[in-house]
Amino acid sequence: MKSIPDFLRDFECSRRQDGRSGARRFAMRSNVAAICAIAICALFAGATASAAAATDSTAPVVKTRTGEVRGLVKGNVREFLGVPYAAPPVGAMRWRAPLALPSWRGVRDATKFGSSCAQMDFRGARVKGSEDCLYLNIYTPNPPGAGLPVMVWIHGGTFLVGSGSSYDGSKLAERGKLVFVAINYRLGPFGFLASPALDSGDAKHTFGNYGLLDQQAALQWVKENIAAFGGNPKNVTVAGESAGAISAGLHLVSPASAGLFERAILESGPFLHIRTATDAQQRASELESALGCAGVGQAAKCLRAKSTEEILRAIPASPIGQPVWWPIVDGRLIPSQPADALAAGRFNRVAVINGSNRDEGSLFLAFGHQQSAAEFETRAKARFGANAARVLAAYPETGYVSPTQAAAAGFGDQYFSCQILRAGDLLAAKVPVYQYEFNDPHAPNHFIRNPPFPMRAFHSSEIQYVFGAAADNAGLTDAQRKLSEAMMAYWVGFITSGDPGGAPAWTKLTPSDPKILLLAPGAISYEKDFSELHHCALWDSIPR
């Protein structure tokens, strides 16, 4: 088993090659999987309104602090797409904190998605998107309400790929009577390059976490503008899945995020341990060398002079060669490791939904090479050394369809299930926490055809239930559709009031009574054997 950053790097390259079918049923606007959104090309209009502004007099027009935007109506939902929330981080603003958005004259068109942030396409063959990408998309009920709860969604994609345009919030907006906002943020080296050369020229001393700064700017924009769209700026929930959930967790421990949201939802986001500045600077040095900027007197100027494509191609986008760009402990935005901050009570005190899926690891290891029994044992010994025998005993390959499935179970338990439970325990000491485990063993799989072993409740499979796509999928069973309706109700209840309610009522996690809500078709109930099932005592005893 690999460390999570290295393994996710390997997985992402494979996933981008196979994650394209059936995505519309996955609550998405494009025909690719959630973490691999196709870019919708739209350039920032600068100081004037877009020339393509809609002319339909019935189209809704909303006045933001920087200008008016015209959206569109689709039945019971209003959409405002490609709304900019900060100035484009291009040219001299590359690798700097986002600046305030300039005002524009006239009415800006908000009927098409803005560009996704710069990334490689799913085959690693070309650059997708643009560095001019700080846009968000808003979905509201139609007719509009006032003072509605707000959900701000941060997309996943291992901080390398993805886009807010991949998530259709219309069902949540309509059924939940809420305002749904999906945001973009800088990805890959543009979002998470931690180079001292860049820091030395920045008065704010930003250091590597540019993507997180973008997210904070988007949350600030929501606070200042969402009332005009019918939302309540004092009732904002930040939410996300995978990298998006890790981001939401980091906002819990970032002093700079205080006051930007009232609640948080973390779906499959193991955020307790992130990269150190030392590790990140080593990766920055590798990129600077590849670009010919290492040792240059004006390294920052050299880096900013390179094209988008040069930067993305500087280090080969292959399973072996591509580093993962990740948020870091920078001492400022993220003052310390999140686990330490939670243990010390140094975090933003808001109610939290926190959870994981029963089979988090299956999606990752279903791609690529399938291990033999001998390889499984060899890799376990190399990875865990003196603890390998204990790991192999906990995951005997004879107890699974294949050795790779056994490795997937161990990987999911170590890096997702047990870390996420640990985060829930730490948070629950200070704030209300509603912990869940999603377990539909027959969740629709739109990622890989004919997987080598049953993927069951794999990483990200709950999204289609939360966004309502499963509730409307006639191909699913009654129990699956009812599960989706129940999950939507829980999420909406929490976003609205901080208490998910529901039937059965979802009670808070407490150290003395570690109830975890099991979200399964026909069997929503509480489970008390989570730690045993996922071998958390084992993983808690093995040093990271």
- E strands, 205-302, are 231-241, 263-267, 275-276
pLDDT of the residue at 58: 78
Establish how many alpha carbons lie within 13 A of residue 192's alpha carbon, considering only the half-sphere containing its beta carbon. 28
pLDDT the model gives residue 318: 42
DSSP letters, 372-397, are PHHHHHHHHHHHHGGGHHHHHHHS-G
Report the SS3 class of residue 204.
coil
Reduced to 3 states, what is the DSSP secondary structure of residue 236?
strand
Beta strands in 312-380 (DSSP E): 328-329, 351-357
Residue 263 phi/psi, 5-degree rounding, is -150, 165
**pLDDT at site 200:** 60
Which residue type occupies 65? Answer: R
**Strand 275-276 relative to strand 328-329, pairing:** parallel
Neighbouring residues of 41: CB distance < 8 A, sequence distance ≥ 6: 115, 130
Q: ∠ CA(244), CA(110), CA(117), 5° rounding?
A: 35
> How high is the pLDDT of residue 165?
97
Distance CA 456, CA 440 (A): 7
- pLDDT tens across 256-312, in order? 999 999 999 999 999 999 999 888 988 899 999 999 999 887 899 999 999 999 999
Phi, psi (deg, nearest 5) at residue 215: -60, -40
Tell me the pLDDT tens digit for each residue of 324-334: 799 999 999 99
Facing residues of 64 across strands? 67
Q: Residue 349 is inside which H or E element, if any?
A: none
The C-alpha atoms of residue 331 and residue 41 are separated, in whole angstroms, by: 36
Residues 477-483: contacts with CB under 8 Å, at least 24 apart: 477/442, 477/521, 479/521, 479/522, 480/440, 480/442, 480/521, 482/521, 482/522, 483/440, 483/519, 483/520, 483/521, 483/522, 483/524
Of 459, 460, 462, 534, which residue is the catalytic one?
A: 459
Long-range contacts, 303-308 (Cβ 8 Å, 24+): 303/94, 303/95, 303/193, 303/195, 303/197, 303/198, 304/91, 304/92, 304/94, 304/95, 308/118, 308/127, 308/130, 308/131, 308/190
Catalytic residue (one of 165, 242, 362, 417): 242
Please give the pLDDT value at position 55. 44
What domains can you pick out in the chain, each with its CATH number?
350-544 (3.40.50.1820)
360 is catalytic: yes
Low-confidence ranges of the chain (pLDDT < 50): 1-55, 317-322
Of the listed 360, 397, 437, 462, which one is catalytic? 360
Yes or no: say if 9 and 324 are a contact pair by the CB < 8 Å rule.
yes
Retrieve residue 42's tokens. 């739209």
CA gap 82, 137 in Å, rounded: 6
- Residue 196: other Cβ atoms inside 10 A: 14
CA distances from 308 to 35, 122, 189 (A): 20, 17, 10
